[in-house]
Amino acid sequence: MRTDPASAPPPLSGDSLDPARNPIEAGSGVKISSGTRSAHGPAHIHSASAQFAVTPAATEVADALTATVRPADPMLIMFTSGSRGLPKGVIHSHGNALAAVRSGLTARCIDAETRLYLPMPFFWVGGFGGGILSALAAGATLVTEEIPRPESTLELLERERVTLFRGWPDQAEALARRAETLGTDLSALRPGSLEALLPPGQRARPGARANLFGMTESFGPYCGYPADTDMPESAHGSCGRPFDGMQVRIADPAGHPVPAGTIGEIQLRGPHILRGICGRAREDLFTPDGYYPTGDLGHLDDAGFLFYHGRRDDMFKVNGATVYPGEVEKALRSLDGVTGAFVTDIDRSDAARVAAAVLVTGSPSVDRLRAATKEILSSFKVPSTWLLLDSDADIPRGTTGKVDLAALRKLLTDRGVEAGTATAPPH
């Protein structure tokens, strides 16, 4: 797969840093909070525009780099989270990384007026691409902190008049509860933020807004829909459409494209895709016609909306029948009183069983949830082992926020119960 360097966006240069030539980007304040307190009061918020003023010498260096660095040159090696094995070192060029960031700004509701809160680590594509590079590309303000804590984070959000909150879902839920107690003013937040922090009138119906979907290999999201806008009814529950320039197809196990509506492996091609992986030959990564097999399962509808069905290596068999965890999770989330669901397989009596950790409100019983699930799923897909929880914080996750499947299996094996033996989540 080849990308024409002439068609790719240029690297950041002296032109983009000189305030006389690009006042929006030069005037943006990328703000960083240490997340700590001192004897002199709250944590200081440092303005990059004040600390790192553009000088003639800096502009000269940037212009010199522009003369030698090309869009096709490697920008960085970004490591995957390693949630399913050893982390992979993914190589991205200046051109493909910046193109990926720019293509997703509209879907993520980031522009020059945005004051974006993002606590994600900058060594990860979510923090580096979704935070630092997005703020630079849009001329937005980035607000972050070293160690998020409810009280200090709420103070930061209020003081900095943050307009877009893109933190962790469990963090948003905890902050919403604390903000109500403290009376924190979060009125600057606008739609596109995680909805737990928005007033009820600004929240969308379940499934109406796209779940931006991407991976390290695509330098973040490769498909989506404006995060403040409802998708068409037929697309509810989808990840939106591929961004401009990205080609998405669905393939069967033999690698052949399948028609719309058929579940298969998601394959990607386009200017945002990785240049390579450390220690791997390109011919081992891409199909002969240049597509990258992601290992994710999904289907496209007739309008081009992508629906995610989980990881290929997450699916498992129960009594010879294939179970897709994503399908079961979607069904569970549709039940009254269920706010989240996480499904995997565990071994019971030398046989694989469907197990589910379910986030609930109120005091539902496992028997009621199981009976409701039987009405919408085939019997072999209905979980036989359940764990009812009342907080997303109880779900084991890695440093990048992804669910730790090994830890989830252990949690369900140790604490999961069969139908008829539990009634409410532990507190």
pLDDT tens sequence across 256-313 = 999 999 999 999 999 999 999 999 999 999 999 999 999 999 999 999 999 998 888 7
- pLDDT at 6 > cutoff 80: no
What pTM did the predictor assign?
0.73
Distance from the first to the final alpha carbon of the chain: 53
| Half-sphere exposure (Cβ direction) of 267: Cα atoms closer than 13 Å | 21
Statement: residue 79 has pLDDT above 70 = yes
43 — pLDDT class (breaks 50, 70, 90): very low
b/e 158-193 (16+ beta carbons within 10 angstroms → b): bebebbbbbbbbbbbbbbbeebeeeebebeebbbbb
Residue 195's pLDDT is: 87
Task: Give tens-digit pLDDT for 179-200.
Answer: 988 999 999 999 999 888 999 8
pLDDT one-digit tens code per residue, 132-191: 999 999 999 999 998 888 899 999 999 999 999 998 777 888 899 899 889 999 999 999
Q: Tell me, what's the pLDDT at 258?
A: 97
Could you read off the pLDDT of 220-247 as tens digits, one per residue?
Answer: 999 999 999 999 999 998 999 999 999 9
Helices (H), 189-305: 282-285
What pLDDT sits at residue 52? Answer: 56
361 closest CA partner among 330, 331, 390: 390
Give residue limits of the domains in the chain.
Answer: 315-418
Count other C-beta atoms under 10 Å from residue 292's C-beta: 19
Examine the pLDDT at 107 and tell me if it is beyond 80.
Answer: yes
Kindly tell me the burial class for residue 223, based on how many C-beta atoms sit within 10 Å of its own C-beta (0-12, 13-18, 19 or more): buried
Q: pLDDT at residue 48 above 60?
A: no
CATH superfamily of this structure's domain 315-418:
ANL, C-terminal domain (3.30.300.30)
